[in-house]
Amino acid sequence: MASPGKKAYPLRIDPALWDELQRLAARDLRSVNAEIEFLLREGLARRGVKVGGKAEADADADKETPEE
């Protein structure tokens, strides 16, 4: 079941790619779904696309504020 406020989308994926996603997710202590979302956001950021949402808010909170 999808998390509240998130869009559910069925995804057909190559089994070998799925296996690698499972390995990455386990290494990063994430679910496969969270790993896919992380990788999508990372890929979009590399293209200069800014995506709103919780992940962006968390990243902004981690930034240091400039000293005056």
**What is the pLDDT tens value at each position of the chain, 68 positions in all?**
667 888 998 999 999 999 999 999 999 999 999 999 999 999 999 999 998 866 555 555 455 545 54
pLDDT at 2 (0 to 100): 67
Amino acid identity, position 36: I
> Residue 16: CA atoms inside 13 Å, Cβ hemisphere, count?
0
Neighbours of 31 (CB within 10 A): 12
Domain ranges of the chain: 15-60
